[in-house]
Amino acid sequence: MDTTIPGNEPTPSVQIDADRLEANITAMAAATRARGVALRPHAKTHKIPEIGALQVAAGAVGLTVATVGEAEVFAGAGVEDLFIAYPLWVDSAKGDRLRRLAARARITVGVDSAESATALARNLGPAVGEVAVRVEVDSGHHRSGVAPGDAAGVAVAAAEAGLRVTGAFTFPGHSYAPGMPVTAARDEDAALDRAAAGLRAEGLAAAELSGGSTPSALMGGGTATELRPGVYVFGDAQQWELGTIGPGDIALTVAATVVSHHRRTPGEPGHFLLDAGSKILGSDRAAWATGYGRLLEHPEARIVALSEHHATVQWPAGEPLPARGTRLRVVPNHVCLPVNLVDEVQVVRDGAVIDRWAVAARGRNS
Q: What is the pLDDT of residues 33-42, one digit of tens each?
A: 999 999 999 9
Look at residue 268 in the predicted model and tell me its pLDDT. Answer: 73
Mean pLDDT of the chain: 95
Q: Where are the alpha helices (DSSP H) in the chain?
A: 18-35, 49-57, 68-76, 92-102, 114-124, 151-160, 181-201, 237-242, 278-281, 336-340
| Average pLDDT score over residue span 29-56 | 98
Q: Does the pLDDT of residue 266 top 80, yes or no?
A: no
- What pLDDT, in 10s, does the model give residues 167-178? 999 999 999 999
Look at residue 265 in the predicted model and tell me its pLDDT. Answer: 72
Look at residue 309 in the predicted model and tell me its pLDDT. Answer: 97
pLDDT category of residue 3 using cuts at 50, 70 and 90: low
Look at residue 221 in the predicted model and tell me its pLDDT. Answer: 85
Specify the pTM.
0.96
| Average pLDDT score over residue span 337-366 | 97
For 81, 206, 299, the CA distances from 253, given in Å and listed in that order, are 30, 40, 14
Under 8 Å between Cβ of 360 and 52: no
Q: Does the pLDDT of residue 242 top 70, yes or no?
A: yes
Look at residue 90 in the predicted model and tell me its pLDDT. Answer: 98
DSSP string, 5-31: PPTTS-SSEEEEEHHHHHHHHHHHHHH
Look at residue 4 in the predicted model and tell me its pLDDT. Answer: 63
- What pLDDT, in 10s, does the model give residues 178-195? 999 999 999 999 999 999
| Cα separation, 231 vs 243, whole angstroms | 14
pLDDT category of residue 2 using cuts at 50, 70 and 90: very low
Give the residue with greater pLDDT, 316 vs 332. Answer: 332
Q: Please enumerate in sequence order all residues whose Cβ is within 8 A of that of 193, keeping only pairs 6 or more positions apart, or say none.
A: 148, 223
Under 8 Å between Cβ of 274 and 256: yes
Look at residue 222 in the predicted model and tell me its pLDDT. Answer: 86
Q: Does the pLDDT of residue 1 top 50, yes or no?
A: no
- What pLDDT, in 10s, does the model give residues 92-144? 999 999 999 999 999 999 999 999 999 999 999 999 999 999 999 999 999 99
DSSP letter at 306 equals E
For 141, 167, 203, the CA distances from 199, given in Å and listed in that order, are 22, 8, 7
| Cα separation, 357 vs 15, whole angstroms | 10
Q: Cis peptide before 322, with omega less than 30 degrees from 0?
A: no
Look at residue 329 in the predicted model and tell me its pLDDT. Answer: 98
Under 8 Å between Cβ of 243 and 339: no
Q: Does the pLDDT of residue 63 top 80, yes or no?
A: yes
Q: Is 363 helix (H, G, I), strand (E, B) or coil?
A: coil
Look at residue 267 in the predicted model and tell me its pLDDT. Answer: 66
Look at residue 59 in the predicted model and tell me its pLDDT. Answer: 98
Of the listed ranges 3-7, 87-91, 102-106, the least confidently predicted one is: 3-7
Strand pairing category for 270-274 and 252-261 = antiparallel
